[in-house]
Structure 1
Amino acid sequence: MKAIIVDDERLALKKMENLLREQVDLDGRIELIGTYNNAHAALEAARREEVDLAFLDIEMPEINGFELAEQLLKIHPCLSIIFVTAYQEYAVKAFEMNALDYLMKPVHHSRLTVTLQRFMASKEKTARSTEEAKKAMLCCMQRLHYQDTQGRTQSFPWKTLKAPELFAYLVFHRDKTVSKQILIDLLWPDYDTERATTQLHTAIYQIRKIIKTAGLELSIKYMDEGYRLVWGEEKLDVDEWENGVRQAPPVMPETLDQHLAIMALYTGNYLEEHRYIWADYEQERMRLIWLQHVKQIAECFKTLGRHTEAIMLYQKIRETCPDLEDGYFELMKMYAAMNHQGEVRKQFQLISNRLKEEFDVSPSKELIDWYEQWKPGMKE
């Protein structure tokens, strides 16, 4: 890990250099590659070679520490910045720039040790995240497929229709033993025992072969008169998304970007393209979690006055959950507030027709009452 120090005061620069060299000698994982008493020289050095860590004084002529940090980050986006100053009032702005730390002069040896430990921990965490990102991921959103270690989407070359359903069922019940009889009753209910058993063995053989060819760290074990899919190091897209939703902080303006990133992980309903009847409950469960999450994000957009983004999300809710009133109703309210009367009528007609055609019912009393109360205020 390569470090630089920038300070226009030569004595302060020399003291910081000595302190860091003492730490470098003890640690050995950080190399001090240069000290600079002006920002231009530091930028020249950064253009010539890699820099991982920069100690920057804040009050410097021509280019101050904050401006220098911005320019250095354009050259090395992963650079860690540590501001060093005699003035406490810069602390808030320093951390707004996502600085790793903020050191007050005179810097003490023990305080610098804490900073460098924080820096190394941050780099190790990044390295672990990068390593985890290289693992393959099995995907059940929209359809059964996988992403290889390079992040490329890959399809499974199935030769029969029952093998992928068997694989998907074992994935759903991963790390649990499913009896042979349950599998036979599910997939080959009209076959006699001997023929169904043969079909089961053939499908298991095909799945094992495909798992091996794809390089997935999964295995199928036969035990207790049943089969168990033993999970390896792979990620599962539905787990990644659901864990993200459940572990995230509440949706607020400050956390909006984090929630948008989580929302982007939901790339389709659970095994929707395959139409497996046994997957209906899980599909609906996941879709309702998604619905509540997206509604919270849309409400946050409304609070911020970002009505276009909110409308787009409600439209997405309507498309993803076409049999639920949520998307239509929220669009009606938003269009009413914007005095788009034609759109309000359109959404009411869409949900009314949908419910009539699919279930032979009318919209809820709440929606109808709201619509009837809104109608007297309409301008023809």
Structure 2
Amino acid sequence: MKVILVDDERLALIGLQKLLEKEVSGIQIAASYMNPAEVMAGVVLHRPDVVFLDIHMPEIDGMDLGRRIQVAVPGTEIIFVTSYDQYAVHAFELQALDYVMKPVQTERLKRTLQRVREKLAVRCEQRVMDTEVPLICCFNQISFKLPGKEPQIAKWRTSKAQELFAYLLHHRNRVIYRSVLLDLMWPGMEEEKTAHQLYTTMYHVRQTLKACGMDMIKIQSAHLEAGYKLEVGDAQLDSEQWEQEMKAWREVQPGTVQAYEQALYRYKGTYFGQYDFIWAEPERERLRYLWLYHMRQLNLYYLKQDENERVVENMQQIQQMLPDEEESYFMLMKLYDEINHDLGVEEQYRLLMSRMEQDLGIPISEEIRHWYRDWKLGLTEPGQTMG
């Protein structure tokens, strides 16, 4: 996150900069200014994500400077920092992201910057969504996004129509034989009894696509209606877009870490995650572990940068997405041990025990049991456990 600081008081400026550098991870301070006359040139040059701006300055009103910044570089978030709370209403009328009172408190600053990260991630996601081609959304729930319009969740006539479309989409550009579809949708029933149901369900699928404006998706009948083939035309799948973007990243670097993280945030849920499609599980698992691989790469980068807070945030996100992934709990246990946070170690161990043994009926690994036993006995050495 690229930041510019503006305050006519030197001590206030130095204090805010030190607080950001010491207490908040993922921050790049592009410039700081005491002279408001220099700010506009700096904003245009650096194009920051955020400007921390003092309101009460002798040469120029901070409110007016904030308006000029937003006109010059649209999308720049303004966070006012001041000793005078009477400006709060006017600050939010300017659509400032937040209003922080001096002296700035660490926890208050962290909450403000978390709001910035969330807003930047949403904005980045919106840019991806605002494509010039139709988009078929497969993460979590099936929906369609036409250029310039909001995503819409299709209203399927039946659950059979929904699954039939999903299966053909999953196997797009390939002929799927009728016998395969009949066995999938109506297993164990005679073909003569189900052929008409397949024909009717296919009709409902086509009608739903038409109602959603997705006419570019074509379902062609094979020779003598021996099967069907779905073609998406110029539409794209969000899962394919996301996978291509993630595979383009080679490594996490200081200049790319923010974009890398925002790309990972666009993985909002698993492939067809809201549906019990057993046939989708291999693809669901493949994409899930592609995401996990890149999350691990990001965590390794943050560990090297000693940005432990970001590691904790990311590991907690992994736990939400993959609650049975033992490594995330174990890594946090060792990290908490390194920073002498005993309660954190205990909490992670209890959480792992609860999710694995109580929820899934699976014992946790012997390696983690032995490490935890040694830790309780004081046999582990903080600082040597993160390997």
**Shorter-chain TM-score above 0.5:** yes
Within 5 Å, which residues of 2 pair with 1:20-31?
A: none
Partner of 2:95: none
Q: Secondary structure at the match of 2:220?
A: strand
State, as a whole percentage, how many aligned pairs show the same letter. 29
Partner of 1:263: 264
Partner of 1:363: 364
Please, what is the CA RMSD of the aligned residues? Answer: 2.8
Which amino acid is the alignment partner of residue 268 of structure 1?
G
Aligned counterpart for 2:200 among listed residues 192, 199, 202? 202
Q: Secondary structure at the match of 1:243?
A: helix
TM-superposed deviation, 1:355 = 2.3
Partner of 2:227: 226
Q: Secondary structure at the match of 1:272?
A: coil
Partner of 1:320: 321
Which amino acid is the alignment partner of residue 325 of structure 1?
E
Determine the C-alpha separation between the residues in 2 that align with 1:367 and 1:181.
49
TM-superposed deviation, 1:352 = 2.4
Determine the C-alpha separation between the residues in 2 that align with 1:181 and 1:130.
39
Partner of 2:338: 337
Partner of 2:243: 242
Q: Secondary structure at the match of 2:316?
A: helix
Partner of 2:283: 282
Moved over 3 A (4+): 62-78, 129-132, 357-361
Structure 1 range deviating more: 340-349 or 287-296: 340-349
1:35-86 CA distances to partner (integer Å, 9 max, x unpaired)?
A: xxxxxxxxxxxxxxxxxxxxxxxxxxx97996595499864549xxxxxxxx
Q: So what's the TM-score if we normalise by structure 1?
A: 0.64
1:177 and 1:227 in contact (8 A); partners too: yes
How has the CA–CA distance of structure 1 residues 66 and 270 changed in structure 2, closer, same or farther, with 3 Å as cutoff?
Answer: same
1:162-221 CA distances to partner (integer Å, 9 max, x unpaired)?
A: 000010001110111110000100111143322311111111111111212222221000
How has the CA–CA distance of structure 1 residues 283 and 357 changed in structure 2, closer, same or farther, with 3 Å as cutoff?
Answer: same
Unaligned segments of structure 1, at least 5 residues = 1-61, 79-128
TM-superposed deviation, 1:292 = 1.0
Aligned counterpart for 2:153 among listed residues 150, 155, 166? 155
Q: Secondary structure at the match of 1:215?
A: coil
Determine the C-alpha separation between the residues in 1 that align with 2:366 and 2:231.
49
2:145 and 2:152 in contact (8 A); partners too: yes
Q: Secondary structure at the match of 2:241?
A: helix
Q: Secondary structure at the match of 1:229?
A: strand
Partner of 1:300: 301
1:117-156 CA distances to partner (integer Å, 9 max, x unpaired)?
A: xxxxxxxxxxxx9998132211111111122222512111
Determine the C-alpha separation between the residues in 2 that align with 1:348 and 1:286.
27
Determine the C-alpha separation between the residues in 1 that align with 2:129 and 2:362.
52
Which amino acid is the alignment partner of residue 292 of structure 2?
L
How has the CA–CA distance of structure 1 residues 76 and 291 changed in structure 2, closer, same or farther, with 3 Å as cutoff?
Answer: same
Partner of 1:354: 355
Kindly tell me the number of residue pairs found equivalent between the two proteins. Answer: 268
Partner of 1:173: 171
1:281-322 CA distances to partner (integer Å, 9 max, x unpaired)?
A: 111111111111112112222222322222111011111111
Determine the C-alpha separation between the residues in 1 that align with 2:260 and 2:324.
25
Partner of 1:135: 133
